[in-house]
């Protein structure tokens, strides 16, 4: 019978990672592992305080399902057993991995997808002073940079970064840090800097003004969209959606959300929390059809798990079977 085990793992961040809501120096992840015979499947999640999640609650939630897993709870039944969120993500991805290990068939093949290819990922610059972010942009030397903004001085940050990296493509993540009074001006600043996409400029639940404003740069919903339930209400406010497995509750719902988002005319971005390669691996399958890929979590860590995703500059390579799927 399948056995579920749950553990917490910690990965130090290289330096400090800062966004509009605060800073952190380590990534704390929850790993779910389902084993049956000689096969084991793993999934990783990052409980996020912004969504009312804690590491302790995620561990407790998953441990309470151990008997259900032993009794036959599978990936399909899991979608009803837990709501969308980090805990379900870890177990959903563990089930996908276990199925691949048991059948010897990669997850992409089970889904009827073409063999995954390496993808260019954004590289995130932590929120800092204009000078520090400009130096980081110059040092990164990446073709696609994601700028964490959402604080006083964002116009100066944009100008400094563009001057430091004139050839780089830029996307911006304000992490709900702008206001209805400033958002139009900040979007104009982004347009002048050649920014291609702006993530979540206003707080979720207070973003209705986006429907009435010109959007000189396409705007992407992040905190405002978790799964398919709230998608239709966003059509007049956003041009794209950022799909993260920790929000959708796993690869199963993420794939369904991507299909429905495209049907509504949204562009697709695939993003991540600050986590190890085990969390990036299933997201890389989803990202094969995305217009924007932001799966650089392991690049921001002081150490990753081994084996991990292979990064070659800006290219993120599909996971090897020993890692996931």
Q: At 41, which helix (H) or strand (E)?
A: strand 39-45
Phi, psi of 188 (to 5 degrees): -65, -40
Marked catalytic residue, from 101, 146, 148, 247: 148
Strands, sheet with 3-19, edge to edge from the N-terminal-most edge strand: 3-19, 22-36, 39-45
Q: Residue 173 has which token pair? A: 């993540």
Q: At 196, which helix (H) or strand (E)?
A: strand 195-199
Marked catalytic residue, from 24, 101, 146, 244: 244
CA dist list (Å): 314 to 41, 155, 179, 273, 324: 28, 26, 32, 18, 21
CA dist list (Å): 144 to 61, 92, 127: 37, 30, 16
What is the rounded distance in angstroms from the CA atom of residue 5 to the CA atom of residue 145? 37
Do you find a cis peptide bond into 2, omega within 30 degrees of 0?
A: no
Closest CA to 223 of 211, 215, 234, 212: 234
244 is catalytic: yes
What is the rounded distance in angstroms from the CA atom of residue 156 to the CA atom of residue 201? 17
What is the rounded distance in angstroms from the CA atom of residue 114 to the CA atom of residue 256? 18
What is the rounded distance in angstroms from the CA atom of residue 245 to the CA atom of residue 5? 20
What is the rounded distance in angstroms from the CA atom of residue 287 to the CA atom of residue 280? 10
Active site residues: 148, 244
């Amino acid at each position: 019978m399948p056995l579920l085990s749950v553990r917490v793992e910690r990965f130090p961040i290289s330096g400090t990672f800062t966004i509009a809501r605060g800073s952190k120096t380590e990534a704390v992840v929850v790993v779910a592992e389902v084993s049956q015979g000689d096969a084991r499947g793993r999934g990783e999640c990052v409980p996020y305080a912004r969504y009312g999640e804690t590491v302790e609650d995620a561990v407790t939630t998953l441990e309470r399902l151990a008997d259900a897993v032993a009794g036959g709870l599978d990936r399909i039944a899991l979608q009803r057993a837990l709501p969308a969120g980090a805990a379900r993500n870890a177990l959903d991805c563990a089930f996908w991995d276990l199925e691949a290990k048991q059948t010897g068939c990669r997850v992409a093949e089970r889904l009827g997808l073409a063999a995954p290819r390496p993808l260019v990922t954004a590289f995130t610059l932590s929120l800092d002073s204009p000078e520090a972010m400009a130096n980081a942009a110059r040092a990164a030397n990446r073709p696609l940079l994601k700028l964490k903004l959402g604080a006083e001085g964002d116009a100066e940050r944009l100008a400094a970064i563009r001057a430091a990296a004139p050839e780089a493509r830029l996307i911006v993540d304000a992490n709900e840090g702008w206001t209805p009074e400033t958002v139009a001006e900040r979007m104009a600043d982004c347009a002048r800097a050649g920014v291609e996409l702006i993530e979540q400029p206003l707080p979720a639940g207070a973003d209705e003004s986006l429907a009435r404003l010109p959007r000189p740069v396409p705007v992407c919903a992040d905190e405002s969209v978790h799964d398919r339930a709230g998608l239709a209400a966003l059509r007049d406010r956003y041009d794209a959606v950022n799909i993260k497995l920790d929000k959708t509750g796993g690869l199963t719902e993420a794939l369904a959300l991507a299909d429905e988002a495209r049907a509504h005319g949204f562009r697709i971005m695939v993003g991540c929390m600050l986590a190890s390669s085990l969390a990036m691996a299933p997201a890389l399958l989803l990202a094969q059809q995305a217009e924007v890929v932001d799966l650089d979590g392991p690049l921001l860590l002081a150490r990753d798990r081994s084996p991990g995703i292979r990064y070659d500059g800006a290219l993120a390579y599909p996971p090897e079977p020993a890692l996931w799927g």
